[in-house]
C-alpha cells in the first residue's frame, strides 16, 4: 500500500493557530491600552502638580510679606495688605482662582478648582480672627481629567504670617516670657 503525502493544514491545526494568534493580539492590545492609561495619568498628575505648585508659590510670596490679612464671611476670598498694595485671591466663575493686585486686572492663576477655603490660625492651630493669626491655612479642592474620567483632589497647606510671627515673638521677649 502506497501512502500519499498531504500538504497544508488540517482544521485542528488552523483553529489552534488562530486561537494562539488571537491571544497574542489581545495581549498586545492590552499592553497598548495600559500604556495609554499610564500616559493619561502622568499628564493629569503633571497638570495637578503645576496648579498646586503655582497656587502655593503665589500665596507664599504674597502672604509672607503681608502686614495684614483678612477673609470674607464665606472664607473663600483672601485679602492681603502689603503696605500700599492690596492683593486679593478669590474663586470666580465657579472654577477659576483669580489674583488681583491693586490697580491691575485680575489674573487667573489656576482653573478646575472646586473650592478654596482660607482659615486664620493662632500659634496653637486654633481658628481665630485674622488680626490675631500667625498662620494662614488654605484648603484647595481641584478636579483633573476629562468629563468622562475626572477625579477630585484636596490639598491643605499652611503659610506662616512672617510679620505676625515676628511681632508675637518680640512681644513675648519684651514681656520677659
pLDDT at 29 over 70: yes
Query: Are residues 97 and 52 in contact, defined by beta-carbon separation less than 8 angstroms?
Result: no
Of 171, 157, 160, residue with least CA distance to 133: 160
Q: Where are the domains of the chain?
A: 11-175
Angle (CA) 47-50-56 rounded to 5° is: 140
pLDDT digits (tens, 9 = 90+) for 124-159: 888 888 888 888 888 888 887 766 677 788 888 888
Predicted TM-score (pTM) of the model is: 0.70
- In this prediction, residues 156-176 reach a mean pLDDT of 70
Question: How much is the pLDDT for 174?
Answer: 57
Task: Specify the length of the chain in residues.
Answer: 177
First to last CA, the chain: 117
Query: Are residues 170 and 162 in contact, defined by beta-carbon separation less than 8 angstroms?
Result: no
pLDDT digits (tens, 9 = 90+) for 75-131: 888 999 888 889 999 988 778 889 999 888 888 888 888 888 888 888 888 888 888
**SS3 of 41, please?**
helix
d(CA 142, CA 95): 9
d(CA 157, CA 59): 10
Q: What percent of the chain has pLDDT over 70?
A: 89
pLDDT digits (tens, 9 = 90+) for 30-64: 999 999 999 988 888 888 888 889 888 989 888 88
Whole-Å CA distances, 4 to 12, 148, 150: 20, 62, 66
Amino acid at each position: 500500500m502506497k501512502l500519499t503525502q498531504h500538504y497544508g493544514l488540517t482544521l485542528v491545526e488552523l483553529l489552534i493557530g488562530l486561537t494562539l494568534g488571537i491571544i497574542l493580539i489581545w495581549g498586545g492590545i492590552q499592553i497598548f491600552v495600559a500604556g495609554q492609561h499610564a500616559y493619561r495619568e502622568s499628564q493629569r498628575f503633571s497638570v495637578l502638580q503645576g496648579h498646586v505648585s503655582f497656587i502655593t508659590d503665589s500665596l507664599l510670596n504674597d502672604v509672607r510679606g503681608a502686614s495684614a490679612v483678612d477673609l470674607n464671611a464665606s472664607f473663600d476670598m483672601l485679602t492681603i495688605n502689603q503696605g500700599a498694595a492690596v492683593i486679593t485671591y478669590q474663586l470666580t466663575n465657579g472654577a477659576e482662582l483669580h489674583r488681583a493686585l491693586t490697580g491691575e486686572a485680575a489674573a487667573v492663576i489656576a482653573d478646575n478648582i472646586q473650592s478654596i477655603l482660607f482659615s486664620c490660625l493662632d500659634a496653637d492651630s486654633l481658628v481665630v480672627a485674622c488680626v490675631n493669626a500667625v498662620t494662614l491655612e488654605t484648603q484647595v479642592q481641584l478636579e483633573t481629567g476629562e468629563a468622562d474620567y475626572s477625579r477630585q483632589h484636596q490639598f491643605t497647606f499652611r503659610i506662616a504670617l512672617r510679620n505676625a510671627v515676628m511681632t508675637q515673638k518680640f512681644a513675648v521677649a519684651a514681656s520677659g516670657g
